[in-house]
Amino acid sequence: KYGTLETFAGIVKAEAAKTKIPVCLHLDHGNSFELAVQAMKAGYTSVMIDGSHEDFENNIAVTKKVVDVANAFGIPVEAELGKVGGKEDDLEADADTNTDPQEAKEFVERTGVSSLAGTPVLDKPRVSAIKEVVDVPLVLHGASGLSEEDVRECVERGMCKVNFATELRVAYTDAVKKLLEEKPETFDPKKLGVVAMEAVKEQVIARMKMCGCDGKAE
């Protein structure tokens, strides 16, 4: 919608070269096999194929197809099974579509996927249940707005990757609104970007500490 995969890959590659910590460029919620392959060719180092809108068998089919190509590129694939139990991209998931542990086990075994999203946000016992039968990292989507206690417990129960989006957008926009209120004469988008990115940075740092992933880069 807002640019090309090649442009994003070029920007991230240039910035990643300036730091010693590992940097990943991830395609989030790739909605087709073609898009996932395009991202790999553009230089993305991780892709997600979201076939959760498909039925179980078709989700397995498209995910396995992406995994087969990704294996040739040597990059991991994240997939989604069931619906997330939180607000994500303005879509609310129904509680009765939460991921079933045995389906998750079968899905991982048949696709060879590297990580799995779709475990319900607030059904924490089910996080543990899925972790017991699935041997790949679990991904928590729609974490914005959850309490620190809830996120920490989900991590303790087996979530290895936690996605925050909405609250980062809010931090960005609120910073812009504040600057325009204080200095309504501001017209340079670069100045808006400076305060907005700093606000997002602070929020990311706070969330990294909350999830316990700070200071672990190797």
pLDDT in tens, 4-48: 999 999 999 999 999 999 999 999 999 999 999 999 999 999 999
Nearest-angstrom CA–CA distance, 117 and 109 = 15
From the list 28, 100, 123, 150, the catalytic residue is 28
Nearest-angstrom CA–CA distance, 67 and 60 = 10
CB 157 within 8 A of CB 128: yes
Nearest-angstrom CA–CA distance, 21 and 23 = 6
Mapped onto helix, strand or coil, the DSSP state of residue 29 is: strand
- For residue 198, what pLDDT is reported? 98
Q: What is the pTM of this model?
A: 0.85
In the chain, helix, strand, coil percent, each to 5? Answer: 50, 10, 35
Instruction: Please confirm, yes or no, whether 96 is among the known catalytic residues.
Output: no
* Bridge partners for 162 per DSSP: 140
> What are 103's two structure tokens?
């389906």
Here the contacts of 102-106 (C-beta below 8 Å, separation 24 or greater) are 102/133, 103/56, 104/130, 104/133, 104/134, 105/133, 105/134
Q: At what angle do helices 56-73 and 101-111 cross, to 10 degrees?
A: 40
The string of pLDDT tens digits covering residues 118-174 is 744 567 888 888 889 999 999 988 888 888 898 898 899 888 999 999 999 999 999
Neighbours of 26 (CB within 10 A): 17
